């Protein structure tokens, strides 16, 4: 292997990018956009869910427990009470529960929360006697979106718990959580490693497959092979140039994640970059390998979703591998992304070092070696 020729190939690739501003813009902006959109979309809690509350509680307003629960709900942003109906609505001749349920059916609101006539009385007697059936609060809900149902129920429970605690009711069991890792970690801390790996994977795969398909189409690959440059020098030249691009892109993402979304990086940033670099090298090899199955750049782009979707869905980027049905889990373990995400996550959140993520690093390094070596072989076989 001749370093001068390897660098000639690498410089050529970088120069092609230098003249192609739009692609450079894509490489830099695509991950920025990804992390920003994911950050804002997933980072926040569910807010402003429209609900009706029907408060039929007959207790006077200064004693009413339901009124206190309602004001607790109002103190947060999760639920937006569009209308608060009470027994006065009933006297107008309409049934407020039926009216409100109609609104749920029309999808004007997500839910109706109903407090019964004897709510305060039942709760008071249940508290003083210490036994009896639990007192119900009825929720009539549109279950189209399970996340919303979940948010409504949780917010309601929170409010009730707060009010009861204020009345001196002591919970029988409490859960005390001690964080080993990730105290204060938010959802964006969880998926930032995934977004970084995704972006690196996309860009290296795309650059290498399109570049190789183009070189074949314009016969420049043939011409290269009539010069002293060897197949492995071509592959290594590509790996160096596009690996560098992936590395720079990862730095941009890390900076954005830390500066804009306060993502925490407990471990060594260099180890994170190295992990992503290895994934990028492997995906470069995959791109070069698959390039021989694509006759045009258009066909090359068609490989993108095939590569992208399993990695997004099965590699633990946005939800844990434990959430994937058991029969699909073996597939996860064959996706290199899985190891990049797991490795980066352990370093960023748990602060682990190379000694703890050596297995992920080894698997990614092997993956890179195998794909790069096979693409070298693939080039040789063409002769």
Question: Which of 77/222 has CB closer to other proteins?
Answer: 222
As measured in angstroms, the least distance from the Cβ of 333 to other proteins is: 39
Q: With contact defined as beta carbons under 8 Å apart, do 368 and 278 qualify?
A: yes
Closest CA to 348 of 219, 119, 111, 185: 185
As measured in angstroms, the least distance from the Cβ of 329 to other proteins is: 43
Please give the Cα distance from 264 to 183 (Å, whole number). 10
Applying CB under 8 A, which of residues 12, 80, 158, 350 lies at the interface with other proteins? 12
- The answer to whether 19 contacts other proteins (rule: CB under 8 A) is yes
Please give the Cα distance from 1 to 154 (Å, whole number). 63
Q: Which DSSP string corresponds to 326-345?
A: GGGHHHHTT-HHHHHHHHHH
As measured in angstroms, the least distance from the Cβ of 371 to other proteins is: 24
Question: Which of 53/207 has CB closer to other proteins?
Answer: 207
Residues in contact with other proteins, counted by CB under 8 A, come to a total of 25
- Pull the structure tokens for residue 13: 């690739």
- The answer to whether 1 contacts other proteins (rule: CB under 8 A) is no
As measured in angstroms, the least distance from the Cβ of 1 to other proteins is: 13
Per-position b or e across 97-112, b if 16+ CB within 10 A of its CB: bebbbebbeeeebbbb
Question: Which of 228/330 has CB closer to other proteins?
Answer: 228
As measured in angstroms, the least distance from the Cβ of 9 to other proteins is: 8
Rounded (10°) angle between helices 187-217 and 303-314: 160
- The answer to whether 227 contacts other proteins (rule: CB under 8 A) is yes
Kindly identify the residues of this chain, within the stretch 20-39, that bind other proteins according to CB under 8 A.
20
Q: Classify residue 30 as exposed, middle or buried by CB count within 10 Å of its CB (0-12, 13-18, 19+).
A: middle
As measured in angstroms, the least distance from the Cβ of 300 to other proteins is: 16
Q: Which DSSP string corresponds to 39-54?
A: HHHHHSPP--EEEEEE
- The answer to whether 8 contacts other proteins (rule: CB under 8 A) is yes
As measured in angstroms, the least distance from the Cβ of 381 to other proteins is: 11
- The answer to whether 266 contacts other proteins (rule: CB under 8 A) is no
- The answer to whether 11 contacts other proteins (rule: CB under 8 A) is yes
Chain centroid to CA 201: 16
Please give the Cα distance from 135 to 116 (Å, whole number). 9
Q: With contact defined as beta carbons under 8 Å apart, do 304 and 206 qualify?
A: yes
Please give the Cα distance from 137 to 129 (Å, whole number). 20
**Starting at the edge strand that comes first in sequence, how are the strands of the sheet with 138-141 ordered?**
79-86, 49-55, 111-115, 138-141
Helix (H) or strand (E) holding 138: strand 138-141
- The answer to whether 295 contacts other proteins (rule: CB under 8 A) is no
Kindly identify the residues of this chain, within the stretch 197-226, that bind other proteins according to CB under 8 A.
218-220, 222-226
- The answer to whether 383 contacts other proteins (rule: CB under 8 A) is yes
As measured in angstroms, the least distance from the Cβ of 301 to other proteins is: 18
Question: Which of 203/265 has CB closer to other proteins?
Answer: 203
As measured in angstroms, the least distance from the Cβ of 234 to other proteins is: 10
Question: Which of 128/227 has CB closer to other proteins?
Answer: 227
Please give the Cα distance from 283 to 239 (Å, whole number). 10
Question: Which of 11/158 has CB closer to other proteins?
Answer: 11
Question: Which of 17/127 has CB closer to other proteins?
Answer: 17
- The answer to whether 229 contacts other proteins (rule: CB under 8 A) is yes
Kindly identify the residues of this chain, within the stretch 72-91, that bind other proteins according to CB under 8 A.
none
- The answer to whether 5 contacts other proteins (rule: CB under 8 A) is yes
As measured in angstroms, the least distance from the Cβ of 290 to other proteins is: 21
Radius of gyration of the chain (CA): 29
Question: Which of 122/233 has CB closer to other proteins?
Answer: 233
- Residues lying near other proteins in the complex (CB under 8 A) are found at 2, 4-5, 7-9, 11-12, 15-16, 19-20, 218-220, 222-230, 383
């Amino acid at each position: 292997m001749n370093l001068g020729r390897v660098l000639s190939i690498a410089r050529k690739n970088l120069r092609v990018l230098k003249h192609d501003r739009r692609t450079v813009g894509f490489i830099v902006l695509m991950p920025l956009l990804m992390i920003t959109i994911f950050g804002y979309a997933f980072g926040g809690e569910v807010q402003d869910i429209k609900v009706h509350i029907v408060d039929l509680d007959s207790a006077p307003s200064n004693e009413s427990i339901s009124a206190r629960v309602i004001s607790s709900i109002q103190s947060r942003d999760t639920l937006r009470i569009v209308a608060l109906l009470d027994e006065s609505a009933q006297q107008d001749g309409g049934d407020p529960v039926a009216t409100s349920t109609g609104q749920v059916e029309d999808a004007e609101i997500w839910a109706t929360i109903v407090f019964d006539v004897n709510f305060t009385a039942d709760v008071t007697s249940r508290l003083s006697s210490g036994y009896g059936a639990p007192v119900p609060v009825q929720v009539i809900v549109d279950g189209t979106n399970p996340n919303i149902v979940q948010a409504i129920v949780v917010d309601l429970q929170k409010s009730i718990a707060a009010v009861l605690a204020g009345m001196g009711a002591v919970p029988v069991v409490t859960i005390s959580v001690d964080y080993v890792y990730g105290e204060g970690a938010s959802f964006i801390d969880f998926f930032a490693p995934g977004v970084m790996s995704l972006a690196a994977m996309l860009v290296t795969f795309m650059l290498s497959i399109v570049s190789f398909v183009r070189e074949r189409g314009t016969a420049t690959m043939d011409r290269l092979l009539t010069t002293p440059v060897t197949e492995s020098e071509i592959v290594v030249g590509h790996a160096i140039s596009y690996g560098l691009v992936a590395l720079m892109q990862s730095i941009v993402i890390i900076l954005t994640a830390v500066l804009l979304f306060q993502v925490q990086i407990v471990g060594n940033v260099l180890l994170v970059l190295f992990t992503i670099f290895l994934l990028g090298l492997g995906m470069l090899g995959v791109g070069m390998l698959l390039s021989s199955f694509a006759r045009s750049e258009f066909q090359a782009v068609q490989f993108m979703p095939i590569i992208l979707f399993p990695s997004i869905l099965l590699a633990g980027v946005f939800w844990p591998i434990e959430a994937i049905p058991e029969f699909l889990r073996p597939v996860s373990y064959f996706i290199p992304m899985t190891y990049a995400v797991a490795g980066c996550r352990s370093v960023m959140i748990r602060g682990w070092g190379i000694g703890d993520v050596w297995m992920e690093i080894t698997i990614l390094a092997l993956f890179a070696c195998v794909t790069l070596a096979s693409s070298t072989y693939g080039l040789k076989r063409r002769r």
